[in-house]
Amino acid sequence: MRTLHRFHGGIHPASHKALSTHQSIVRAPLPNSLVIPLRQHAGEAAKPCVSTGDHVLKGQRIGTPNGMLSSSVHAPTSGTITAIALHQIAHPSALPDLCVTLIPDGKDTWIEREAVDFRALSVSELQQRLRDFGIVGLGGAAFPSDLKLRHRIKVDTLILNGAECEPYITCDDMLMRERANEIVRGIFILRHALEADEVVIGIEDNKPEAIAAMRQAVCAAQLDYAVVAVPTIYPGGSAKHLIKVITGLEVPSGKLPTDIGVQCFNVATALSVKRALDDGEPLISRIITVTGNVEQPRNYEALIGTTLSDLVALSTAKSDTNRYIMGGPMMGMVLPSANVPMVKASNCVIAASDALFPPAPPALPCIRCTRCVQVCPAELQPQDLYWFAKSNNFGKAQEWSLADCIECGACAYVCPSHIPLVQYYRYAKSEIRERSAEKLAADRARERHEYRQFRIEREKQEKAEKLAQREAASRSAATAAPSTPSVDDTQQMRINEAIERAKAQALAAHPKNTDSLTPEQQAEIAAIEARRAKILELATDAGADDEPHKIS
């Protein structure tokens, strides 16, 4: 038996998982149209590589990775591209993003699938394959899987995350119950790529069927993987916390799991890795739980790009449903509308009603009861962070490690004053990001200005020098004049010193919260920035019709 470890805090919210585990996974019917966002992963959106009017085959690449932190996007079925345009996506801002609209031809014709023997591939070829096949983490962050195969030090432990700690969500549970063999095969490939010493599959002990199925599959494949039942506690499925439970190690703040010799993949990702190599199938579908206020809560295998409202319709939403949550009730988001496409990261849609999720009573003042401290898995002082965020004391919030908050919501869950704590932290985090970006821009502007001053000064001096030289030349030509005074270089030195100082200052004043970000966070920031740029662009475009073009 493996000794398991504990992480601080955590909560036990009602799981509501049994709702959607009575029925097996069913394939959702082919929809009339698919809207496939080009940004479904952490990082840069894929570049469309098809045009409107093109006929594509199932599995054909329609978007290629743009930059290192990016991934590919594929056509989930065969059909015709009818638009490559902005469309509303599953983002709380309700802002549109670039999507490819595909009208299926109903034939579902595959592109030629080419299986490869992963043993014949080098690690970099394997990474390239995952990148080309659009494999990203299916646990929620959608981080490109090829990047997770990079590591600087030896990977001792490969962990498979089957914890699925959020209430209501059962897609990984059902996948493990029904497709354990394929998952194990995927793990085999991942272990080969990482050359990991051991493999541990962590599953919360409230999923006995999944544990049994995985054990059986491991046994059947005659592998030495440990299938470990980890205690059911939210947020035990957070990668860093699962790593702590299984290895006892804490991933240092701002570092990656591979920095401590551990890597963690979601079980569903392992399956898609298997399909990419063994079957030559890119990531074009996933399992999604449709649950909550619906008549038939269950899991669907649906094509990426399927409109969420179509999926909900399959389960029949009850009449008092008034909103939809994507993800779980602890960390999910309210969808601006159910008319948004499902993406690779979509693990669950919950039909919500006021009866199912009663609105919280008005918030009372914080009484410093520290129930939040007792449950915070990041071991923060949520009551202090709340106080700092509320009073816009962002420096202090950073000092109190706001950046280490994983926004799991455990604090807000237990708060007897019903303070929407996570909202305050998100606000503070975005303000800090915004301000450090502004500071960076200001620093750059100052640097440019200082350099310009320096340049003007230098040109002036050069001119004076030339003049002096010419004068001296003419004078020496006339008489043996006394040597001209050397150029006053003390001023030059002073200028140089000032520039050096400014540079050093700019370096020292580098914003604190951006230097220890994980690639996921950086990706998120990049995504937000890109979205901002897009809004600006849209606003300018929209304005261009009826207003003279604005410069600024």
Partner 1 sequence: MLSSPFVTAPTRVDQIMLRVLLALIPGITLYVWYFGPAILVSITLASLTALATEAVMLKLRDRPLKPFLSDHSALLTAWLLALSIPPLAPWWLVVVGTAFTLVVAKHLYGGLGNNPFNPAMIGYAVLIISFPAHMTHWLSPHALGGMELSFAQQLDYILHGILPAGVGLDAVTMATPLDTLKTQLHLGLSVNEIRDMPIYGRLAGHGSEMVALGFALGGLYLLFTRIISWHLPVVYLGTLFALAGLFHLYDPAHYVTPVFHWFSGAAMIGAFFILTDPVTSPTTAKGKILFAAGAAVLTYLIRVFGGFPDGMAFATILMNICVPLIDLYTQPKVFGKKEEGK
Task: Report the interface residues with partner 1, using CB under 8 A.
Answer: 7-8, 11, 13-14, 92, 167, 240, 244, 250-255, 325, 327, 329-334, 352, 357, 359-362, 364-371, 373, 377-381, 383-384, 400-401, 404, 407, 409, 412-418, 420, 422-423, 426
User: At a CB cut-off of 8 Å and minimum separation 6, what does 552 contact?
Assistant: none
Radius of gyration of the chain (CA): 28
Nearest CA-CA partner of 127 in 36, 35, 64, 190: 190
Which CB atom, from 407 or from 450, has the smaller least distance to partner 1? Answer: 407
Which CB atom, from 357 or from 454, has the smaller least distance to partner 1? Answer: 357
> In the bound complex, what is the minimum distance in angstroms from residue 400's beta carbon to partner 1?
8
**Is there a contact between 57 and 77 (Cβ–Cβ < 8 Å)?**
no
Distance CA 200, CA 321 (A): 40
Which CB atom, from 281 or from 384, has the smaller least distance to partner 1? Answer: 384
- What single string gives the DSSP state of each residue in 134-178? T-B-TTTT--BHHHHT--SS---EEEEEE---STT--HHHHHHHH
Which CB atom, from 360 or from 481, has the smaller least distance to partner 1? Answer: 360
Which CB atom, from 136 or from 251, has the smaller least distance to partner 1? Answer: 251
> In the bound complex, what is the minimum distance in angstroms from residue 198's beta carbon to partner 1?
22
> In the bound complex, what is the minimum distance in angstroms from residue 440's beta carbon to partner 1?
25
> In the bound complex, what is the minimum distance in angstroms from residue 143's beta carbon to partner 1?
18
- Number of helices and strands (H, E) in the chain? 15, 17
Which CB atom, from 254 or from 511, has the smaller least distance to partner 1? Answer: 254
- Helix (H) / strand (E) containing 449: helix 421-478
Tokens of 78: 């065969």
Tokens of 63: 């978007």
Tell me the helix, strand and coil percentages in the chain, rounded to 5.
Answer: 40, 15, 40
Tokens of 16: 């509501």
> In the bound complex, what is the minimum distance in angstroms from residue 518's beta carbon to partner 1?
11
> In the bound complex, what is the minimum distance in angstroms from residue 347's beta carbon to partner 1?
14
> In the bound complex, what is the minimum distance in angstroms from residue 519's beta carbon to partner 1?
16
For the beta sheet containing 47-48, the strands, ordered from the edge strand earlier in sequence to the opposite edge, are 47-48, 61-64, 73-74
> In the bound complex, what is the minimum distance in angstroms from residue 135's beta carbon to partner 1?
27
Which CB atom, from 202 or from 332, has the smaller least distance to partner 1? Answer: 332
Which CB atom, from 316 or from 370, has the smaller least distance to partner 1? Answer: 370
Distance CA 35, CA 341 (A): 6
